[in-house]
Structure 1
Amino acid sequence: MFFLHFIKFLAIINAYGYLCLGISGDKGLIIGMWKPALIFTVTEIPRSPANYYNNVSKSLTPSSVPLTSISSDPKNNVVFASIGDSIFAFQNFTIWQNESSASFSVAFKGKSIPLGQIAFDYISNNLYWCDSPLNWIAMKPAYVDNITIYKIIVYTDLKQPEGIALDPEDGLMFFSDNEPKSRIQKASMDGKNRSVIVYTSLIRILVLSVDATNNLLYWADIGRQTLEVSNYDGSNRLVLRRNNNVDVIGLHYSQNMLHTVSAGSRVLFGVDTISGSELYNVEVTEAQPFTVHVYDAEVSNSYNDSCSTHSCQHMCVNSPTGATCLCAEDYKLSSDAMTCTEHSLFYEKGFIVSNATAFTMLNVHSVNGQQDTIKYLSVPSVSIEAFAVDTNLHLIYFVDSNSNTLKELSIVTRQTRTLASILSARDLVFDWIGNLLRWIDLSQSNIQVFTINSGTISTIYSGLEQPVSLTVDAHNGYLFWIPGTSTKSNLQGNWNGSAHGIIVSSANLDNPSSLHYDVTSHRIYWLDNSRIKSSMINGFDIKTYNRNTFGATMTIVYKVDINGAYYTFTFF
């Protein structure tokens, strides 16, 4: 967790032109800065060139902490900031940052640190954020202290989401995802009714902002170095301004102006949204400006809050069709469409481990430091040798070495049933495409398959050299394993038992173990002595990762991104 240390000071930013006297009231610009980390406020909203802009700064400790996005709720004097792996709420905020009763709290912990905008729904009081490495968009009630009350609302067909903007009055959400090709999508604020509105001539969209009055969407393309605008349906797209050699990574629309910042160029500048002309340009010397947000406590919007009369147990959003109740992760909406009931003992997304008689699940947010309750599912009178999971049907398949049987456990009902008798098994893997279970039979040195639909067992490969560490590429029908001989290599076969071959020879390996196929990167990962290595499924492009895993017996790679960043869980 990052701890915030406040240091106040006033500074003067030199620009050009004349003095802008500002507008009375609690309004101005909030700028999040890096290197060192600062919350920097300009105590007015610039509209034209000026010699001076008063500003106030508060430093963050440690100074290296990444502050990536800011949003606000001026009617309640609250500012939200994405700092490191958490979203903080700063209460009793003023643009002068001089309120003695100001405080801060953690609104959510467990957000991935890399880039990803946050946005506040000022009607329903919900907080939204993009999690780029985990490839999802999530939300939670902003003022509910329980950080486990959140919901992932967009996660399918989404890769590297980074920009998000809301129009709460129309019940709409806009977001960008940037891999493999950048695009901008629109959806209801519950994540439903998705449609792609812009998908051509985009490189990378980090930030979005809306003009809710005129139904216009603005964005900055850091690759094309442009500021652009379109209607909410993507029509009438226009390049508002080309920023030669200036990479805009933060912008916010307000009253016919775009306020923007560039970390590389260290500038804050404003653009007229009618003409595209630059209205002011300020050099920022204190640190690298990374995000900008207009804070205006004087703005008074008239709107209908359909959620105010809707008694949702967990959370409510204003969708285009009216109030919609949502339930937190691992809960489902009851028949009354308002209350929530636990869907199953385990989390909707997480990591399952076992000992001999129980399964335990960690929430996927544990990779980012969120502390959640560890959930246990005991299975008495068994000895769990190996297991695999069907996430769609909420089933755990496992080998019981006490009875030498293959069994099925329902996570929802917690009931167990026997599927088949077997001789021995290790490295059980589930093929969700063919609805098959495969494992290594050590007693006969072969690989067997159980067809779940028919309940039959057959042998795929026999006479192998003590195979270990089975993994599967279900989409392409490939199996991978390591022969347990002194000369070890990584082998590849097929689900139908056709000829198998070496993909990584012993010359490129020391002591490989724990093969794992990652469906995101289409690569095979394994432990090799005290390092993690990977290759393409044909054995090409072998990589070694600089992470010491001395003593580890198993590793799982989770959600590898386009740059090769990944989460690993190692077991000792």
Structure 2
Amino acid sequence: MKTADRKNLIFLCFGSLFLQVSALFDGTHPNLLYANILQIDSIEINTWRNNSVVPGLSRAISLDYHYSMGLIFWTDVLEMKIATMHIDNMLNINEDIVRTKIGRPDGIAVDWIYNHLYWTDDVYHHIQVSNLDGSMRRTLIDYGIERPRALALDPNRGIMFFSDWGSVPRIERCGLDGRDRQIIVVTDIAWPNGLVIDHKDERLYWTDGALFQIKSSTLDGKDVKTIIKDVKYLPHPFGIAVHDQYVYWTNWEYKSLLRTNKYDGSYVETVQRDLTSPMDIKLYDSNVQPNLGGNVCGYFNGGCSHLCFPTSPWSERNAKYTCSCPDGYDIESDNQTCTKQGGNAQLIIAEHQSISRIDLESLQSDALDVTGLLNTVAVDFHLEKDLVFWTDVTLKGIYVSYLSGGLLSGLGIRKAIISEDINTPDGMAVDWTYDHIYWTDAGLNHIQVSNLDGSFRKTLINTRLDEPRAIALLPQEGLMFFTDWGINPKIERCTMDGSKRYTIITKEIRWPNGIVIDNIGRRIYWTDGYLQLLKSSTFDGTDVFTIVQFAQKTFPQPFGIELYDDQIYWTNWNDKSVYTVHKYKGNDMKPLITGLKAPRNLKIISKETQKKGTNLCGNNNGGCQHLCLPVPTNLNSAGYSCICADMFHKDNKLECIKKDPAELVKDEL
């Protein structure tokens, strides 16, 4: 066959596929679009003809479309991305529009009026929005949410519905800006996998994978009805769609697509069987995306410089819409203009006899204006108070200075806040919400805490420790993680008052030098200088996996570790460098900074790394006389604990009374 003939044949094959797909979506026949893991397929309703729309995918889970623009969007949880393609794309050329800071996007929804894209993330535990091209990305909901999954939008009313299948399964609704949240379904619900709005009947439908049922309610969660509950037909329902008098759903167990009467669940019918792994499903039809009231943001985007959202129908705000900013931007006083948050993220590195500060974008560096350092190991900061703290294991102390330079109350450019009864402070962490400092002491085998000025010093843990080293805090949840590289190496978790200790990592660990918390991903990451690796686990020590395993001959000696966006940063003792790598994929490892003196611990200075949470101790220190330390909030706890400094005990009135000599001797014993 001649080359020209072969090219013509290829063109004819692609052209045939193009004509097939174009005919399917010409608007004359409604179609069912469904994600089938490795591809996105369509089924023409009535003829039940099945066609491939987007082939060659890795693990497609959720999908949606913009009818008037002819765009299909889908999520891929294996490649951790959101992609799009035009429905008339003859060569199946698709575009990745979200690839960074994305974990497991289980749910996706398109706003066809305001032209926004919404998605849930089961790894980052949040809901985000962006323009249809992935720009102007904003986190709408990242609190009070555990396992977000399905999404459904009603842009005509300005409402978003989402499901959460965490420890408190539920369905919520809110405005398209993520505000005015309301829980509308919380009973008889376990795994709400799929959501769909029936615009004709103004009802919400959902599948429940654990309770083998499909239910519906009004848009405010009332008049809940069970459409069908049958383990035979719904052993694991996932995606859901509505068309005319039918409700359609995908079935994981039977790898099939079924439908039944949407009012009473009668006449169950299998529409398609022997599928690969059917996930989300959408009805492709113009009636699914009506535009009834127009765009309240208007032609000029409501005067908003970036994002404009309609307010919810039940909002108490006296406005039809609200202006919002992408992540990393702040709204100005006019409530319309967004400006980029000042300053680039910076690295600070404890370098033996100096502390370096390096701009993450330009990689320009300078040294903090502090002198007299002999052997710095740990470093941390308090951004709001403009303070930097460090430990010196030769001087046997913890010191503080200003991040921006200058004198500390006339005492010079540094101040020792802890200089007595301290031996080897290898690890240190600052609580930027409750204003405390925590540190490990490998010489005295304990973990202590104090106020930022060193006052009200308290020993939290002094048992079952051999060589405590790294420490990391999660103030908004009252959790502390620390490492021990002694005879029995381990990583432990406890509350920030030192109680409720749990050993979470004991296997494949020798020298856990550094540890960092990923609050968004709900994981911890650590370095091991002996085993020469970077590892990660969930907060309870499960789902352990290796990010990077270095070749033994290189002997890199990873020590300090930090996390920013999707990247891990760590110091390398051996070649005096800082490296970076993707926190999930472990690929694209590269040296970021070389030629350092003796890098130990490092931190990234950014508003994102020290987001200010709620201080439950309040203005009155929670009624505590000495220390008010955060602990997890539950039915038996208000979220904090009153603790007295060493050499004091607490009486019934929460007052701290100095211990008598006999008590001190007993404590020593």
Q: Shift of the alpha carbon at 1:322?
A: 1.6
SS at 2:280 equivalent = strand
Q: Which residue of 2 aligns with 1:56?
A: 51
1:79 aligns with 2:72: yes
* Cα pair 2:215 2:226 within 8 Å, conserved: yes
Q: Which residue of 2 aligns with 1:68?
A: 61
In the TM superposition, 1:124-273 aligns within 5 A as 124-143=114-133, 147=134, 149-245=136-232, 246=234, 247-273=236-262
Q: Which residue of 2 aligns with 1:366?
A: none
Q: Shift of the alpha carbon at 1:274?
A: 2.2
CA distance in 2, matches of 1:493, 1:87: 37
Q: Which residue of 2 aligns with 1:325?
A: 323
Q: Which of 77, 83, 89 is matched with 2:84 structurally?
A: 89
1:482 aligns with 2:479: no
* Cα pair 2:538 2:544 within 8 Å, conserved: no
Q: Which residue of 2 aligns with 1:343?
A: 341
* Cα pair 1:425 1:440 within 8 Å, conserved: yes
Residue ranges of structure 1 left out of the alignment (5+ in a row) = 1-5, 11-20, 362-372, 560-565
CA distance in 1, matches of 2:101, 2:502: 40
- CA change 1:555–1:409 in 2 (3 A) is closer
**Residue identity matched to 1:436:** H
Q: Shift of the alpha carbon at 1:295?
A: 1.3
Q: Shift of the alpha carbon at 1:208?
A: 0.8
**Residue identity matched to 2:64:** S
Structure of greater Rg: 2
CA distance in 2, matches of 1:242, 1:493: 43
Deviations 1:44-68 (A, max 9, x none): 3x2xxx6x4223214533x5x0111
* Cα pair 1:556 1:568 within 8 Å, conserved: no
Residue ranges of structure 2 left out of the alignment (5+ in a row) = 1-12, 18-23, 313-318, 551-555, 566-582, 592-669
CA distance in 2, matches of 1:101, 1:137: 32
Deviations 1:480-514 (A, max 9, x none): 45365x5656689997799x9996999x7862424
Deviations 1:450-509 (A, max 9, x none): 413x6637463899966422345766687845365x5656689997799x9996999x78
Deviations 1:361-419 (A, max 9, x none): 6xxxxxxxxxxx6888866445875333558x496643286997313548xxx999767
Q: Which residue of 1 aligns with 2:305?
A: 313
Q: Which residue of 1 aligns with 2:401?
A: 407
**Residue identity matched to 1:427:** G
In the TM superposition, 1:379-528 aligns within 5 A as 380-381=368-369, 385-388=377-380, 393=384, 397-399=388-390, 405-409=399-403, 420-422=415-417, 425-431=425-431, 434-440=434-440, 449-452=449-452, 456=455, 458=457, 460=459, 467-471=468-472, 480=482, 482=484, 511-514=510-513, 516=515
1:109 aligns with 2:99: yes
Deviations 1:22-62 (A, max 9, x none): 9962641212112xx122122x3x2xxx6x4223214533x
SS at 2:51 equivalent = strand
* Cα pair 2:214 2:226 within 8 Å, conserved: yes
* Cα pair 2:156 2:291 within 8 Å, conserved: no
CA distance in 2, matches of 1:415, 1:80: 53
- CA change 1:295–1:571 in 2 (3 A) is same
**Residue identity matched to 1:174:** F
- CA change 1:390–1:215 in 2 (3 A) is farther
Q: Shift of the alpha carbon at 1:253?
A: 2.6
CA distance in 2, matches of 1:465, 1:314: 54
**Residue identity matched to 1:358:** R
Deviations 1:398-454 (A, max 9, x none): 3286997313548xxx999767325585422123564201224678877554413x6
Q: Shift of the alpha carbon at 1:108?
A: 1.8
* Cα pair 2:75 2:105 within 8 Å, conserved: no
CA distance in 1, matches of 2:525, 2:122: 22
Q: Shift of the alpha carbon at 1:289?
A: 1.9
CA distance in 1, matches of 2:510, 2:297: 59
CA distance in 1, matches of 2:268, 2:498: 69
Q: Shift of the alpha carbon at 1:118?
A: 0.3
Q: Shift of the alpha carbon at 1:216?
A: 1.4
- CA change 1:307–1:281 in 2 (3 A) is same
- CA change 1:334–1:379 in 2 (3 A) is farther
CA distance in 2, matches of 1:233, 1:323: 21
Q: Which of 10, 16, 30 is matched with 2:33 structurally?
A: 30
Q: How many pairs are equivalent?
A: 508
Deviations 1:213-258 (A, max 9, x none): 4431111001111111011221111111124243211112344432
Which stretch has the larger CA shift, 99-108 or 147-156? 99-108
SS at 1:289 equivalent = coil
Write 1 or 2 for the structure with the bigger share of strand: 1
Q: Shift of the alpha carbon at 1:305?
A: 0.7
Which stretch has the larger CA shift, 306-315 or 181-190? 306-315
CA distance in 1, matches of 2:474, 2:27: 63
- CA change 1:517–1:178 in 2 (3 A) is farther
CA distance in 1, matches of 2:498, 2:25: 76
Q: Which residue of 1 aligns with 2:283?
A: 294
SS at 1:75 equivalent = coil
Deviations 1:61-93 (A, max 9, x none): 3x5x011111111111111111232211212x1
- CA change 1:183–1:102 in 2 (3 A) is same
Which stretch has the larger CA shift, 122-131 or 330-339? 330-339
- CA change 1:377–1:333 in 2 (3 A) is farther
Deviations 1:132-153 (A, max 9, x none): 111000000114xxx4520000
Deviations 1:245-301 (A, max 9, x none): 432111123444322212331222223222322464223335322221111246653
TM-score by length of 2: 0.64
Q: RMSD in angstroms over aligned alpha carbons?
A: 4.6
**Residue identity matched to 2:321:** A
Deviations 1:311-357 (A, max 9, x none): 2221111222422111000111111211101224357xxx9774642
**Residue identity matched to 1:264:** E
CA distance in 1, matches of 2:150, 2:564: 23
The percent identity for this pair of structures is: 20
CA distance in 2, matches of 1:287, 1:182: 28
Q: Shift of the alpha carbon at 1:543?
A: 8.3
- CA change 1:465–1:55 in 2 (3 A) is closer
* Cα pair 2:160 2:173 within 8 Å, conserved: yes
